[in-house]
Amino acid sequence: MNPESFADPQRQHPMGLAGYFVKNLYGLVKSFWPIAAGLALSSEVFNYASWVGLGLLLLVGVSAFIEYRYFKFHLTKEALVVHSGWIQKERMVIPFERIQAVHLHQSAWHQALGLCGLKVDTAGSGGSELDFAALNKQEALDLRALLTGGAREGVNPEQPLAESVEQEEPEPLMQLDTRKLFKVGLTQNHLRNGLIAVGAFFTVLEPLERWWGTWIESLPEWTLLLFAFAWVLLIIPAIILFVFLAVLVSVVSAFIKYYRFRADIQGADLSIESGLFRRNEFRIPLSKVQLLDWKSTWLRRKLSLETLQIHQARAQASGGSQGLGITIPGLEIEQSNLIIQSVFPKWNPSVVEHFRPDSYFRYRLFLFALLPLLPIGLVLGMGWLFWIFAPFWVAFRWVTTQRKFEGYRVTTDGVGVMIESGWWFKRRTLLQWHQLQRVSFHQNRMIEPRGLAHIVLHSAAGSRSIRFVKETDARRIMDFAAYRIESHVGSWM
């Protein structure tokens, strides 16, 4: 690797032109394909639509050429410099120290041609600051090493990542074989995936409405009457088909997204590779991780698995999980503990203090869980069926809200803080006090008379709340967090 090879302004690989063309065309089709499909079904406007389509293809091609032709980059001793734009020119300077991570990705055509895409993420961007459409694989590895300081950490960028991993650490942190991939797919959100499949089906069916509508009208009247009486019998088969398709979509999507998944800890970095048609390769500096966020369902916990999201800093991360996140599925408890030791080595769960929400939170959960009874009662006319259903609903929600209340806890060892919540869908978050950006104290007219309060911990990767704790504990947490932030010596990441 020679840093001087990036000293002069240069363009990407010529196939970057094709990359920009495909990206722009995909965005255009994604936005306007229902309109295009509708026009294509009309023979009267088909020829006109064809000319419009050719014009749009030409426009996409011209925009891709301009985007490729006027994109140049080079490295100085301290920064990555990028020139872009034709009508409105832009010069972007990204200091190396501001770079959070550099990610490599390979679509099918990248892999066939030995090329690679590259994304640069920084703490000052809402997403990827830069996206290189196509570079030579070796060039991309060299550029990543220079941008992340890999050469100074003993990483050999002249080798593919898989080969360097085999030499440095024969046993990876984790791999997903076929059996584990099936488990990951089996524990996905099947309801969401089923609804996506149904939505895609009707989206495809809608432009063909004129055709299948004409076909239905051509059927004999007795056939329509038969369907009218038999549709009730099709409910159970339809539900079974929906569940089957939902599980199938979940399993197939897991195989496509996490095919040949591999995670390694290499010195000061966490490296992750995965993907079938689009191969992604991430290398995350452990020192720049802000949040560790685990999520699991009841079924995943029965299989001793959980999903981890690793969040880095991002601008405008005042709420939610907006930090730059990398997902590790199918993680076992031993592997989670190893990641904790690598990212937050000072975390000591054996010396902790616990905080629990007040019982008011438990009754509040139960009260809100009963609200659906009102619309259900209106639908059922407050008849005998409602009064049979209501006691079962009340008993069920009493148990589930109790479980949810028991699952909420906050644990701190003075260095980090673990926030746990949920029951069926369980979540736990680990962060360090000194990495917080600020801490806020909240009360409203409902909880203030009860001596309760909320604390919101704001980090560069998003915010997390500690809710319904005693006001004295909330003020103590806030004072301690402020002390840890102000007294910390050294970099906050």
Q: Are 139 and 158 in contact (CB under 8 A)?
A: no
Q: Are 393 and 386 in contact (CB under 8 A)?
A: no
Predicted local confidence at residue 269, as pLDDT: 83
Query: Does 133 lie in the same domain as 27?
Result: yes
Residue 90: partners with Cβ closer than 8 Å, 6 or more residues away: 83, 84
Identify whether 389 is part of a domain: yes
CA distance 263 to 259: 12
Predicted local confidence at residue 358, as pLDDT: 95
Predicted local confidence at residue 40, as pLDDT: 53
Render 318-366 in DSSP notation, one character per residue. SSSS-SEEEEEEEE-HHHHHHHHHHHSTT--TTS-EEE---HHHHHHHH
Q: Which residues pair with 48 in a beta bridge?
A: none
Closest CA to 106 of 255, 263, 256, 276: 276
Inter-CA distances, 200 with 248, 249, 364, 416, Å:
15, 12, 38, 44
Closest CA to 454 of 468, 435, 437: 468
Predicted local confidence at residue 225, as pLDDT: 73
Q: Are 435 and 458 in contact (CB under 8 A)?
A: no
Identify whether 465 is part of a domain: yes
Predicted local confidence at residue 159, as pLDDT: 42
With residues binned 3-state (H G I as helix, E B as strand, rest as coil), the percentages for the chain, rounded to 5, are 50, 25, 25
Query: Does 371 lie in the same domain as 334?
Result: no
Query: Does 245 lie in the same domain as 140?
Result: no
The structure tokens listed for 324 are 């730059």
Q: How many domains does the chain have?
A: 4
Query: Does 57 lie in the same domain as 130?
Result: yes
The residue assigned the tokens 């293809």 is 57
Predicted local confidence at residue 448, as pLDDT: 94
- The model's pTM is 0.78
Closest CA to 282 of 37, 100, 488: 100
CA distance 399 to 404: 9
CA distance 325 to 292: 9
Predicted local confidence at residue 160, as pLDDT: 42
Identify whether 164 is part of a domain: no
What is the side-by-side strand order in the sheet with 72-75?
72-75, 79-84, 90-95
What is the domain extent for residue 347? 264-357+408-487
CA distance 88 to 461: 32
Query: Does 233 lie in the same domain as 328?
Result: no
Query: Does 383 lie in the same domain as 475?
Result: no
Write out the E strands in 63-114: 72-75, 79-84, 90-95, 99-106
Identify whether 171 is part of a domain: no
Identify whether 170 is part of a domain: no
The structure tokens listed for 166 are 């085999």
CA distance 186 to 300: 9
The structure tokens listed for 449 are 């008379």
Query: Does 296 lie in the same domain as 332?
Result: yes
Identify whether 173 is part of a domain: no
Predicted local confidence at residue 57, as pLDDT: 84
Query: Does 198 lie in the same domain as 58?
Result: no
Q: Are 181 and 187 in contact (CB under 8 A)?
A: no
Identify whether 492 is part of a domain: no
Predicted local confidence at residue 44, as pLDDT: 56
Predicted local confidence at residue 47, as pLDDT: 60
Q: Are 96 and 81 in contact (CB under 8 A)?
A: no
Q: Which of 406, 424, 442 is the last residue of a domain?
A: 406
Supply φ then ψ for residue 284, to 5 degrees: -115, 120
Identify whether 268 is part of a domain: yes
Residues of the chain below pLDDT 70: 1-3, 31-50, 123-129, 150-171, 203-213, 216, 224, 228, 314-325, 491-493
